[in-house]
Structure formats: C-alpha cells, structure tokens
Amino acid sequence: MPDATADPEFGPWLAQASILVVDDEPGMRNFLSRTLGPRCKHLEVAADTDEASRKLDAQHFDVVILDNIMPGKNGVDWLAEQRAIGFFANAILMTAYADLETAIRALRAGAVDFILKPFRSNQLLNAVARCLDRTRLQRENYVLRYELRASSDRVLLRDRLIGQSPAIAQVRDTIARVAPLPTSVLITGESGTGKEVAARSLHALSERADKPFVPINCAAIPPEMIESELFGHLKGAFTSASATREGLFLHAQGGTLFLDEIGELPLAMQSKLLRVIEERRVRPVGSEREISVDLRLIFATNVDLAAEVEKGRFRADLFYRINVMQIRLPPLRNRGDDVQELATLFMHKLSQQLGMPPVPIDAAVRAALASYDWPGNVRELRNLIERSLILGEIPDEFRAHHDGQAESLQETERRHIMRVLQECGGNRAEAARRLGISRKTIDRKCALWNV
C-alpha cells in the first residue's frame, strides 16, 4: 500500500481509500487505473452499471467515479437507483456535456462532484481528495456531537490508565499484549473504573490508531432509535427520517467501535449485532443492500453478563461471541496509593480547566481519601475534586473520616451520598451523576437506609 504521506498534494486519505471506477470506454478505465491505482489502497473497475452494482454488493467503496453516458443505463439514473436502495459513498460524475439540466439531475441523484471531459489527472485527484476530506470531516463532526450528547463528563484521562498499583499495572500489561491483535475485547468492571479509557488505550496501541475511535453508550440511546444510530438509515425509512444518514458502524470504518454498557442493549438488537459481528456487514434501516465494514469491536459492561444470560436478559450466543478476551478493571478501593496520584492529577488539571486555584490536599484529606470505599470509583473521585474546587474546600464528609475515628466506611458512604442528595434537592439521577454511580445504586442504597 502506498505511504499516506507519499503524495501530500492530495492529502493523506487518498492512500487509505477504496475506489470504484465505472466507465464503458477501455481507454478511460485504463487512464483512471493508471492515475488512481498507485495512489489509493484499493481500486476496482466496472465496464457497465450491472457490473458496478455487483461490486457494490460485494464490498464497501469510499468513492465511486462514474461516466454519465453509457450503453443501457446512464450514470445519473443508476446513481439515483443506488441511493434509493442503500448507497452511502461519495460519487463523482464524469460527462462530456456540461449542460445545466445534467448538473441539476446529478446533484439530485446524490453526486458530490462533477468533472467535465476531457480533464487532467490532477483535476480528478483533487476531486477525489475533496470527497475524502468532506467525508472525514462529516464523520468526525458527527462522532464529536454524539459524544457530547451521550455523556456530560469532561474526560481528562482519555488515552491512559494512571497509577502505579500492581492491579492497574497488570491491566496495562494485558492491554499492551492484546492491542496489536484483531481480537474483540470485553472490558468489565464497576461503574467509573475507566473502561472507556482502557478501550482508547487499546485503540491507541493498535494498527488502527490513525483511524476513528467511535464510542457508543448503548444505555443512552432510546431503544426505538438504536438500530438507526448504529446501522444508519435511508431517507423515508421511518417518519422522522428526513435524510439518508450513515450509522456509527460506518463512521468507525477502518478504526475501532466501542460499545459501552453492552448489557443494556435490547434483546432484538442483540441478535442483529451478533449477525454483524459474524459477517462484518450492516444493513441500514430501509436499505436493500448490506454494507461491509472493516473495524475492531471493543465491548464494556458493569454487569455480570453470565448472570444476565441465566436470567434470559442477554443472549448466550452473543455473550460467548464477545467474551473472547476479557479485561477486568479493578475498583479504586483496590488500587492503594493510586487514589492519591489521581486526586493530585485531577486537582491540577481541573483547576486549570475551571480557572480556579487548587484546593490543598493535606494529611487529613489524604487519610480520608485512602479510607473511603469509593463506590463510584475514579469518576466519583474526579467529581469530588471538581466540587471541591467550586466550593473552595474539600467537603466535610471527607475530612470527618480520619485518624481512627469510630465512624465506619459504610457510615461515611451514607453521609456522603445523603449530603450530595441534599445538594441536588433529592434528585437521585443528578446525585448519581455527581457521585459517578448508577441511578440503580442510589435507589438500592436509599431503600437500605429507608430513605
């Protein structure tokens, strides 16, 4: 494969692209093959629209370059048909006739660029580069908007697991060994232990590091929308589908797809996901065509999936399919002095982010940090530090538990949770968010305390 930096004039994405050329003239196919072949990752040619349709059914292309005037069916009509049955790639139309009507029909059919014959090779290469840049920007923007929508947390440790404890060192060692392999990975652990950070580390150390990392919180997507979000949809596939849209699987093309809280996926979607994992093909909602996908899958959960299988809430075949390689993240209470290192790091980073002076972490606070049970793990610690910066001091419940006082860990936990609940006006969902624990945990604790 050509090096991505070998032809900087046309950008780094051309060397990673898969392109289909559709033209009935052997001379033009030969010219385009000589122009594009050495510069792109994969090139296919088709002499007519029937052959092109078969090639689209067989694999995914990033760009399709097609002639308009061909025997049988012209390029514009064929393109419109393909868009209607599930064709998401960019299309560049070549024509010898630059009339306004043809240009309008081409745009309506879904062409993103228009090249007038005869043309020079650099004109074509520039058009392809524009298409690839456009696709990359659209996907990056969509993924960024999705991440902002899916999570209100501002993540500080996105690509690395901090700490020197043996427990976290073992996790880092396992990640380093597994990352270069194509194997799917299941990351388990309590809420707030850093499962997305581990997933990002796997991606960063893999051969796909320069491709997209797309995180999906399965619990954050309404059940009725999850198929469309994951696989995409065609215009008119359902009432609110006003335009054709790629799904998150296609946004992760070539990279890594991270499915967090996989245990929350509805049973109906579990069977569809199993088929995608096995065949590496997705069918957008309303589409007649399946699209091949090349990506690595990483899954995460904070529930016992084996127990969920026993209860009939998770498919056994899907569990066995994703549980090939499992990495379990340790809870913060089992990581020794890592809590001190993380607290210092969060204090430094968040004080810069919020524009507020750091709050001193004295010996009493350090003792309280070490003795607290941390039900919300790293996320709860981060939220505590942010709250401390806003208040200008470490909250009293952490200073209270120090130097061998009689108060138990359970009582400290109860006081802390009740304090946050009071600050939130009894809003359990908001309290859970601040504490870095699930709403179910809050409900269970409150029932235990008869609150």
Task: Print the SS3 string covering the chain.
Answer: CCCCCCCHHHCCCHHHCEEEEECCCHHHHHHHHHHHCCCCCEEEEECCHHHHHHHHHHCCCCEEEEECCCCCCCHHHHHHHHHHHCCCCEEEEEECCCCHHHHHHHHHHCCCEEEECCCCHHHHHHHHHHHHHHHHHHHHHHHHHHHHHHCCCCCCCCCCCCCCCHHHHHHHHHHHHHCCCCCCEEEECCCCCCHHHHHHHHHHCCCCCCCCEEEEEHHHCCCCCHHHHHHEECCCCCCCCCCCEECHHHHCCCCEEEEECHHHCCHHHHHHHHHHHHHCEECCECCCCCEECCCEEEEEECCCHHHHHHCCCCCHHHHHHHCCEEEECCCHHHCCCHHHHHHHHHHHHHHHHHCCCCCCCCHHHHHHHHHCCCCCHHHHHHHHHHHHHHHCCCCHHHHHCCCCCCCCHHHHHHHHHHHHHHHCCCCHHHHHHHHCCCHHHHHHHHHHCCC
Number of folded domains that form the chain: 3
Same-domain pairing of 317 and 373: no
Q: pLDDT tens digits for 110-127? A: 788 888 888 999 999 999
Same-domain pairing of 209 and 307: yes
Q: pLDDT tens digits for 241-292? A: 888 888 899 989 989 999 999 999 999 999 999 999 999 999 999 988 888 8
- Asked whether residue 143 is assigned to any structural domain, the reply reads no
Same-domain pairing of 160 and 130: no
User: What per-residue confidence (pLDDT) applies to 399?
Assistant: 67
Same-domain pairing of 270 and 368: no
Same-domain pairing of 189 and 77: no
- Asked whether residue 141 is assigned to any structural domain, the reply reads no
CATH number of the domain at 403, please.
1.10.8.60
pLDDT at 1 over 70: no
- Asked whether residue 438 is assigned to any structural domain, the reply reads yes
User: What per-residue confidence (pLDDT) applies to 436?
Assistant: 74
Same-domain pairing of 324 and 344: no
CATH number of the domain at 75, please.
3.40.50.2300
User: What per-residue confidence (pLDDT) applies to 236?
Assistant: 85
Last residue of a domain, one of 286, 310, 330: 330
Last residue of a domain, one of 315, 330, 345: 330
- Asked whether residue 140 is assigned to any structural domain, the reply reads no
User: What per-residue confidence (pLDDT) applies to 8?
Assistant: 53
User: What per-residue confidence (pLDDT) applies to 346?
Assistant: 92
- Mean pLDDT over 393-413 rounds to 63
- Asked whether residue 1 is assigned to any structural domain, the reply reads no
Same-domain pairing of 115 and 175: no
- Domain with 361, as residue range(s), is 335-448
Same-domain pairing of 167 and 299: yes
CATH number of the domain at 240, please.
3.40.50.300
Same-domain pairing of 357 and 434: yes
